[in-house]
Structure 1
Amino acid sequence: MRFKHYWLGVIIVGLASTGLRAQKTAIVCKQLIDGTGKVIQNAAIIIEADRIIAIGGKNNIPKGVPITDLGEYTVLPGLIDAHVHPFIDKDDYQVDHLRRSSAQKALEGLKNMQDLLYAGWTTLRIAGDADVAYAQFDIRNAINKGLFVGPHIFGAGHYISVTGGGGDINFLSYEQPIIADGLVANGPEEMRKAVREEIKHGSDWIKILVTGAFMTVGDNPQDVHFSDEELKAVMDEAARRHKPVMAHAHATEGIKMAIKAGVRSVEHGSYLDEEGINLMLQHGTYLVPTLAVGLFFQEKYFNSKALVKAVQLGKHDQAENVKNRMLSLAIQKGVKIALGTDNVGFPPTFPAREFAELVKLGMTPMQAILAGTKVNAEMMGKEKDLGTVEVGKLADLIAVKGDPLIDITELQRVKFVMIGGKPIKHEK
Structure 2
Amino acid sequence: MGKTYFKNAHVFTGVNESFEALDFLVDDQAGTFVEVGSDVTVAEDVEVVDLAGKYVMPGMINAHTHIILDPLFKIGGLSSVNGNQSEPVVDTYIAVDNLKKLLKNGVTYIRDVGSTYDIDLKLGKLEREGKIVAPGIIGSGAALMMTGGHGAELGREVDGPDETRKAARELLKKGARNIKMMATGGVSIDGEQPTDVQLSVEEMKAAVDEAHHKGRTACAHAQGTQGIKNAIIAGVDSIEHAIYLDDEAIEMLKEHGTFVVPTLVAPWAINQHTDLLPEFMVKKSLEVQEAHFKSIGCAAKAGVKIAMGTDAGTPFNDFEGLNAFELDLMVQAGLTPLQALQATTVNAAELLKIASEAGTIAADKLADFLILERNPLEDIKAVGEEKIVYKKGKQVL
Q: Structure 1-normalised TM-score?
A: 0.85
Aligned to 2:186: 213
Instruction: Indicate whether 1:150 and 2:143 are aligned.
Output: no
Instruction: Indicate whether 1:310 and 2:289 are aligned.
Output: no
Letter in 2 for 1:401: E
Unaligned runs of 5+ in 2: none
Letter in 2 for 1:365: P
Letter in 2 for 1:103: V
CA contact (8 A) 2:145 2:182 kept: yes
Letter in 2 for 1:342: D
Which secondary structure state, in structure 2, belongs to the residue aligned with residue 319 of structure 1?
helix
CA distance in 2, matches of 1:41, 1:241: 39
Aligned to 2:299: 330
Report how many residues are paired. 387
Question: In 2 relative to 1, CA 375–341 (structure 1 residues): closer, same or farther, beyond 3 Å?
Answer: same
Aligned to 1:267: 240
Q: Deviations over 1:209-248 (max 9, x none)?
A: 0111111122221111122332232223323333211010
Letter in 2 for 1:221: P
Aligned to 2:54: 73
CA contact (8 A) 2:201 2:231 kept: no
CA contact (8 A) 1:400 1:415 kept: yes
Letter in 2 for 1:395: A
Aligned to 2:97: 111
CA distance in 2, matches of 1:310, 1:107: 27
Instruction: Indicate whether 1:56 and 2:37 are aligned.
Output: yes
Question: In 2 relative to 1, CA 304–29 (structure 1 residues): closer, same or farther, beyond 3 Å?
Answer: farther
CA contact (8 A) 1:42 1:58 kept: no
CA contact (8 A) 1:37 1:366 kept: no
Which secondary structure state, in structure 1, belongs to the residue aligned with residue 330 of structure 2?
helix
CA contact (8 A) 2:257 2:305 kept: yes
Instruction: Indicate whether 1:257 and 2:257 are aligned.
Output: no
CA contact (8 A) 2:223 2:243 kept: yes
Q: Structure 2-normalised TM-score?
A: 0.91
Q: Deviations over 1:158-184 (max 9, x none)?
A: 21111121123xxxxxxxxxxx33211
Q: Deviations over 1:87-139 (max 9, x none)?
A: 1114671475754521222122112101110111000110113x2x1112222
CA distance in 2, matches of 1:24, 1:311: 52
Which secondary structure state, in structure 2, belongs to the residue aligned with residue 399 of structure 1?
strand
CA distance in 2, matches of 1:99, 1:352: 31
CA contact (8 A) 1:120 1:414 kept: no
RMSD in angstroms over aligned alpha carbons? 2.1
Aligned to 1:124: 110
1:11-30 to 2 correspondence within 5 Å? Answer: 23-30=2-9
Letter in 1 for 2:50: D
CA contact (8 A) 2:144 2:158 kept: yes
| Higher mean displacement: 373-382 or 338-347 | 338-347
Letter in 1 for 2:339: Q
Unaligned runs of 5+ in 1: 1-21, 169-179
| Higher mean displacement: 377-386 or 144-153 | 144-153
Aligned to 1:412: 384
Which secondary structure state, in structure 1, belongs to the residue aligned with residue 139 of structure 2?
strand
Offset, 1:376: 0.3
Question: In 2 relative to 1, CA 97–239 (structure 1 residues): closer, same or farther, beyond 3 Å?
Answer: farther
CA contact (8 A) 2:181 2:221 kept: yes
CA distance in 2, matches of 1:286, 1:397: 24
Aligned to 1:245: 218
Offset, 1:320: 2.3
1:374-389 to 2 correspondence within 5 Å? Answer: 374-389=346-361
Letter in 2 for 1:193: K
Aligned to 1:86: 67
Instruction: Indicate whether 1:292 and 2:244 are aligned.
Output: no
CA contact (8 A) 1:293 1:342 kept: yes
Aligned to 2:123: 139
Letter in 2 for 1:71: A
Question: In 2 relative to 1, CA 333–81 (structure 1 residues): closer, same or farther, beyond 3 Å?
Answer: same
CA distance in 1, matches of 2:213, 2:9: 47
Q: Percent of pairs identical after alignment?
A: 32
CA contact (8 A) 1:356 1:409 kept: yes
CA distance in 2, matches of 1:293, 1:29: 38
CA distance in 2, matches of 1:40, 1:166: 42
CA contact (8 A) 1:386 1:393 kept: yes
CA distance in 1, matches of 2:70, 2:165: 30
Letter in 2 for 1:334: G
Question: In 2 relative to 1, CA 237–147 (structure 1 residues): closer, same or farther, beyond 3 Å?
Answer: closer
Give the greater-gyration-radius structure (CA): 1
Which secondary structure state, in structure 2, belongs to the residue aligned with residue 418 of structure 1?
strand
2:375 pairs, out of 378, 399, 403, with 403
Which secondary structure state, in structure 2, belongs to the residue aligned with residue 93 of structure 1?
coil
CA distance in 2, matches of 1:299, 1:401: 29
